[in-house]
Structure 1
Amino acid sequence: MIKAGIIGGSGYTGGELIRLLLNHPDVEIDFVFSTTRAGKPITSAHPDLLGVTNLEFTGEVNPNVDVVFLCLGHGNSSKFLNENSFSETTKIIDLSNDFRLKADATFQGKTFVYGLTELNNEKIKKADYIANPGCFATTIQLGLLPLAKAGLLQNQVHINAITGSTGAGVGLSSTSHFSWRNNNVSWYKPFTHQHLGEIGESLDSFGNKTGQLFFLPNRGNFTRGILATSYTQFDGSLEEAQQLYQEYYKDDVFTHVSAEPIHLKQVVNTNQCHVHLHKHEGTLLVTSAIDNLLKGASGQAVQNMNLIFGLEEAKGLQLKAGVF
């Protein structure tokens, strides 16, 4: 059994990770660390786990676990690792943005591998440290990677994406409060979102020129999921584009190209990404959808863990969508 530790288990991503690992046949949760809930039962933060687990949050860290998941706010993972040491054999999977960019990837003599499985599958298998991608970044990259690899993103790319309220984290803010969010939609961080850096590095990793990315993120009045629409100039036929995408994702267990238009309910509560292509005159429209807490965070983290430990990639991640 793989012994796992979770740092920061009371938030949305931590809660999803606990649920996944409790049901993973090859994993045993050794500890769930929390500075604010030490000594309290896991169910005090996640009441849906009543009757599922008797685990309690702890204020102590076991440095000898096989894998540690960092479910901390951005900027806090590097601080935590500077203050706490783990064994040389402990694998670390970070869900913040602290180590995603190449300039930040080297830490304490170790290099974090960018954990987008559809891009870095073989590198992840050999990695000790993983930087889990951002949720918007995952959705958008999975919509554009086949074009980037083929050198077909030389023109401007316009991206519009909408995310559920869980993307803002468990802490209350003026724009996550129910009375503000309900029956409401708004944009934020237009053209400057922090995920643009990691998106750009991934698209450029094939050595082909990428045009300017114009990204407009939106807040939706629903709980979870991301739907992204990206469009750019494309001179080929729709059939050629579909063949390109099918070929790129032929070996990927969670990313699938749909012949029909897609919607969020297909992927929410799963680790799936669904992609749909539409051609209008000289423009290709790519729609991609994921669950921001699973494929965009905790599910992808478990997928990375499976690859690192030589397990079946989809193990513990065969989840059911709530379509109705």
Structure 2
Amino acid sequence: MKTIRIGIIGGAGYTGGELIRVLVQHPVSEIVFVHSRSNAGKAVTSVHRDLIGETDLYFTDTHTQEIDLLFLCLGHGASRAFLEHNTIKEHIKVIDLANDFRIQDQALWKGHAFIYGLPELQKEKIKTAQYLANPGCFATAIQLGLLPLAAAGVLGAVYTTGITGSTGAGQSLSSTSHFSWRANNIQAYKTLSHQHLTEIGQSLKQLQADIPADAVHFIPWRGDFPRGIFVSTQLKNDLSLDALYTLYEHYYREHPFVHLSKDPIDLKQVVNTNKCLIQIEKQGEDTVIHSTIDNLLKGAVGQAVQNMNLMFGLEEMTGLHLKSLVF
């Protein structure tokens, strides 16, 4: 099996570090360079100290080495600027983990269209993609809870609340990511206006054309834990609980990272994995879809590597057999 030669731009942040952790254990990947202007010349382990003994890589400020795939782990808005100011050889595939190319009318770059990389929505398109926009973390958790209903054409108004860990805010210190603020604290933010709403609506409309653009009403919360997302979505539906589980089982039958549970689910079951767990509860027509993921894995890096596997013709779960932390 041919080795995939990989470059990483923005390797010093949370997603960059998590990507290195996954790729050093991936059986057919080789990290050729990890780019970081602010850390050039330093050992990767001087920033990502948990990787001591796992890699001897050094950060570099060059990115012209011969590679097959480039991961962009930059801040939102910086990926497009990087591509516009640097020459990327035509044969190199690109996976962007920011939000620069997720929306269809913003997905073009020099005549090339970025494919939206949610495997549970459009796996076949991902297999032939040259440029790929990795979905947002909240968007992933919410969409995976709703795709089967949209595919069946029975999705109406949706009211969802989700809580995320501090790593979702990135590595730069801010007042709401500082430990002393996060500890024993919860806060709603970007109520009904979160940036992931657009990509969620775009995906749902792809499956159910008549769904209103403002069907999803979302309140995100900041939680007092480092990583993970837990979402509870409420909607009206006249299908029985058994019928709903049958619908979900059928939709996800060929998607190995999404699992249904009839028992209550919790965050620790998915942290450190690329899994999404879904549980459904129902009282009369009131239906609640619970979905939970690790924001740095299924919500970012794990999904990006899952997409890499598909783009290079590998088995989808290659390098992603990860165990939850549990305790």
TM-score bracket for this pair, using the shorter chain length = over 0.9
For residue 169 of structure 2, what is the aligned residue in structure 1?
168
Find the residue that maps to 2:38 and give its secondary structure: coil
Which residue matches 1:297?
A: 300
Structure 1 residue aligned with 2:323: 320
Q: Distance in 2 between matches of 1:85 and 1:279?
A: 53
Match of 2:51 in 1: 49
Task: Tell me which of 274, 277, 280 is aligned to 1:274.
Answer: 277
Q: How far does the alpha carbon of each residue in 1:91-117 deviate from its partner, in whole angstroms, 9 at most, with x for none?
A: 000000000000111111111000001
Q: Can you give the 5+ residue segments of structure 1 that lack an aligned partner in the other structure? A: none
Contact 1:33–1:57 at 8 Å: present in 2 too?
Answer: yes
Aligned residue pair count: 323
Residue matched to 1:93? 95
Hey, what's the Cα distance between the residues in 2 that align with 1:214 and 1:51? Answer: 46
Which SS does the other structure have where 2:160 is aligned? strand
What is aligned with 1:309?
312
1:149–1:208 contact (8 Å) kept in structure 2: no
Q: Which amino acid aligns with 1:22?
A: V
Cα 1:289–1:140 change in 2 (3 A) is same
2:189 matched to 1:200?
no
The answer for the alignment partner of 2:249 in structure 1 is 246
C-alpha distance in 1, partners of 2:97/2:231? Answer: 21
Instruction: Provide TM-score, normalisation by structure 1.
Output: 0.98
Tell me the equivalent position of 1:144.
Answer: 146
* 2:291 aligned residue (281, 285, 288): 288
Q: Secondary structure at the match of 1:31?
A: strand
Q: What is the percentage of aligned positions where both structures have the same residue? A: 56
Q: Is the 8 A contact 1:64 1:87 kept in 2?
A: no
* CA deviation vs aligned residue, 1:132-182 (integer Å, no higher than 9, x gap): 00000000000000001111112x100000000000000000000111110
TM-score by length of structure 2 reads 0.98
Q: Could you list the runs of 5+ residues in structure 2 that have no partner in the other structure? A: none
**Cα separation, 2, equivalents of 1:260 and 1:293:** 25
Deviations 1:193-244 (A, max 9, x none): 0000000000000243225211000000001000000011101111111100
The alpha carbon displacement at 1:63 in A equals 5.4
d(CA) in 2 for partners of 1:291, 1:103:
29
AA aligned opposite 1:68: L
The aligned amino acid for 1:169 is G
User: What secondary structure is seen at the aligned counterpart in 1 of 2:174?
Assistant: coil
Q: Please name the residue that 1:189 is paired with.
A: 190
- Structure 1 residue identity aligned to 2:122: N
> 2:114, 2:82 → 1: CA distance?
16
Q: Root-mean-square deviation (CA), in Å? A: 0.8
Corresponding residue for residue 73 of structure 2: 71
SS at match of 1:270: coil
SS at match of 2:309: helix
Give the C-alpha shift of residue 62 in structure 1: 2.2
CA distance in structure 1 between the aligned counterparts of 2:66 and 2:307, rounded to whole angstroms: 20
